[in-house]
Each structure stands twice: as C-alpha cells, then as structure tokens.
Amino acid sequence: MNLGQISVPGRDDGLAGKVAVITGGASGIGRALALAYARAGVSTVLGYHPGDPHDPAAAVADVEALGGRTLAVEADVTDSNAVRVLVQNAVSEFGGLDIAVANAGILRRATLADMTDEHWNSMLDVDLTGVVRLLRAAAGAMHGSGALVAVSSIAGGVYGWGEHAHYAAAKAGVLGLIRSVAVELAPRGIRANAVIPGLIETPQSLDAENSLGPDGLEAAGHGIPAGRVGHADEVARAIRFLTSDDASYITGEHLVVDGGLTVRFPS
C-alpha cells in the first residue's frame, strides 16, 4: 500500500453546497434531518403529504432560521409523477441533486385476521413502493456521485411486531431493496444505505392507536440499555453521516440506531 495515497479525514464532511430531497419532511425524522442539513450547508427540498397534519411551513421556517435554504413541495409518494416533480424541483431550484432520503411512511395497526388486501396494499404502496419511486427518480436525476438513504425500522428490519405484519414486511423489504440498488448503482458512484431506527419519539410512535403511544414509549424506554427512547435528531445525524464523505466507502449497509435495544441479552 502506498501510504502517500491515504487521505486523513478532517473536519470537512463534504456536505456543504449539496442538495437533498427528503420525503416525509414536515415532521419527525424528516424535519430533524432538514435541520441537520441546514447546519451542514445542504439545501433541501422537503416532500410532504397533503393530508399530513403537520405544517411544512413550520419546518421551512426552522430551516431558514438556521440560515439554510429549503423548499416544501407537496408530494404523495404513491404517485410516481408527483415524486418525479419533487425531484425536478430540487434540480430547478438548487441546480442539481446529490442526496435523496426516503423517509415518508405510514403506520397502521391490523391483525392478520382483520387485514384486508386494501390494508396490505396501501401500506406497501407507501412504505416500500414509495421508497422505490424516490430512489428511481433521484438516481435518474443524479449526474456523477450521489447518496441514497431509506428509513427502515426495527419492526421488520430486526424484530417482528404483532398486529403490524404489513408494516414489518414493508420495512424488511426496504433492506433487500437497498442492497440491490447499492450493487446496481455503485459503478455510477451512487451509494445506497438504510437506517433502522429503534424506539424513537416521533409523531408516529406517539400515536397510541397505531403504535405505542406516550405511555408505551416511556415504559419501553426502561428496557433499552441506553435507558431511554431515542430522539429524531439522533436518527437524523446517522443519516447525515451516511450521506457525507465520511461514509464514502459504505454502501448496501444498514445502520441500527436503537440505544442498544437489539443487542441486549434478554432478561
């Protein structure tokens, strides 16, 4: 090995000046990521669903308060054309696209006995096929290197979850998708990775009807080695790393962000 060819990483992670598209950008992990990117000098386009109760203008205001550049665009990830338009907004507004993060998702409780084809299909259409739509559109708009990240979950990505088989199946599928996309796009210099959040306090997990709710999250936190549930910005920082030059030789991988939950010895 020629030691003279080894570069020692400094403080610059290569993110400044780049452009990112984030689906599910109005709240939770998506909003936290937009703020993390603003601090790193990344311009963002935030995709949001028109039925989302969270105001995307609030996310835009928070990003701009940090001196960041951002644009919120209505984008239903079940509509391929809407996703293409979302990506095109990044190119037309900021001059290109370097990063795409598939974060949009839904969570619905349904037992196997009660799960209709509509329940199953609608879940996969958002949580798995919606990821495909963004990765496909983003890769097509990238000229040169780029980074793709998809958000999975410990439900499906690591564990099973009763009454959520459709959700877990979609999130497990994200991992196979990312591995294959990583192999296909590596010759173009485009990396693809996944994050697997554990129990993270977000609007989705705080939904007591379809998820754990506030009381369930608090109780679950006591069983996590870190002693608490995670915060959205902790997942956002992991995504920021995977899309930075610090992760330039990482592709086709998944990064678990769970405070040690999935490696804990059962007690």
Active-site residue set: 167
E-state strands within 140-224: 146-151, 190-197, 200-201
E-state strands within the chain: 19-23, 43-48, 70-74, 99-102, 146-151, 190-197, 200-201, 230-231, 254-257
Give the separation between CA 234 and CA 257, rounded to whole angstroms.
8
CA 21 vs CA 110, 161, 221, 250: distances in Å: 31, 30, 31, 20
Radius of gyration of the chain (CA): 18
- Do residues 93 and 111 lie in contact, with contact meaning Cβ atoms separated by under 8 Å? no
Residue with tokens 């959205």, as numbered in its chain = 232
Other CB atoms within 10 A of residue 218 CB: 13
Other CB atoms within 10 A of residue 152 CB: 28
Residue with tokens 């990238």, as numbered in its chain = 142
